[in-house]
Amino acid sequence: MSLARHLVVRLRTCFALHTTHITCAIQPKSFGQAPPQVPAGSLMSIREYCKGATKSEKEKTEFVLLINTDDRILGTKTKDEALAFAKKHDCHLVQVEDSRHAEAKKRKIYKIMTPQQMFDHEERQTNAAGAKRDSTAAKQHLVKNVIASSKITENDLNTKLKGIKKWLDKKCEIRVGITGTPESTKQLELIYEKFENYLAGEARFLQKRITNGVLKFVIMPPSEKKNSQKSQPSKQQEASEE
């Protein structure tokens, strides 16, 4: 009887110890518990995210060289600081091109301008742009081409000459080509003389040549100097008549 009771007590003790071991293995410790391990890939992603955030903040901060209304350098400031400074003094912040400053290669240059300075600056820019357009237009003059045969009729030739005269009034360059045969050189010369006689004093004839029965030459408007000389006698004549 005592042996049986002893075995029962021992079995109960073993069962209690086994249950306690399982409970302790399942439940985490409340104190001194190590933080859960994060996979290496996750840590890398976090680092890259933080770097990206820092980089974007740096990109937003733009540093500029600030110049005062009297062309005095105020130093390097952020764009926001420069705007605030201009607003504080009731002025405008304008980006300018000035290669005199060494900082121009590193960062943009902004100048504080009063309303009057701002107006003058815009006027200068408008005038410069207009002059550039005029210069480009002068270089890009219109070119017209006239092709005819040495057998052209008198009526057709007169029609072409009238058209050329209108083009000359529009300051066009006319390139003429008259085709014939090696034996028609005399006929080509006669046609060239008709061009000269019809446009005498109203055009310049350049680069005349006859090669293999083909007459080529260029007709240009009269030079500006010639035009001015032509207008002066007419003015003097009007004055004398008065």
CATH code, domain with 205: 3.30.110.10
**Total-model pTM:** 0.40
Residue pair 195/175 in contact by the 8 Å Cβ criterion: no
pLDDT in tens, 189-209: 999 999 999 999 899 999 999
Domain that holds residue 153: 141-224
Please tell me the least confidently modeled range out of 23-27, 60-64, 157-161, 237-241.
23-27
pLDDT in tens, 88-100: 988 889 888 876 7
Does one domain contain both 156 and 203?
yes
| Dihedral pair phi/psi, residue 239, rounded to 5° | -65, -40
DSSP β-ladder status, 73-78 and 109-113: unpaired
Between residues 200 and 25, the one the model is more confident about: 200
Query: CA 187, CA 181: separation in Å to the nearest integer?
Result: 10
Does one domain contain both 122 and 195?
no
The amino acid present at 94, given as its one-letter code, is V
Q: How confident is the model at residue 157 (pLDDT cuts 50, 70, 90)?
A: very high
H helix or E strand, kind and range, residue 42: helix 40-60
H helix or E strand, kind and range, residue 200: none
Q: Give the count of domains, the chain.
A: 2
pLDDT in tens, 122-147: 778 777 777 776 666 555 678 899 99
C-alpha distances out from residue 125 to 3, 29, 122, 129, 153, Å = 115, 76, 5, 6, 55
In a domain, 107, yes or no: yes
In a domain, 163, yes or no: yes
Q: What is the mean pLDDT of residues 170-192?
A: 91
Q: How high is the pLDDT of residue 115?
A: 79
Q: What is the mean pLDDT of residues 135-161?
A: 84
Query: CA 176, CA 220: separation in Å to the nearest integer?
Result: 11
Q: How high is the pLDDT of residue 9?
A: 57
C-alpha distances out from residue 220 to 28, 35, 98, Å = 101, 91, 42
Query: CA 158, CA 163: separation in Å to the nearest integer?
Result: 9
Q: Please identify which residue in the block is written with the tokens 């017209």.
A: 144
Q: With pLDDT > 70 as the criterion, what percentage of the chain qualifies?
A: 60
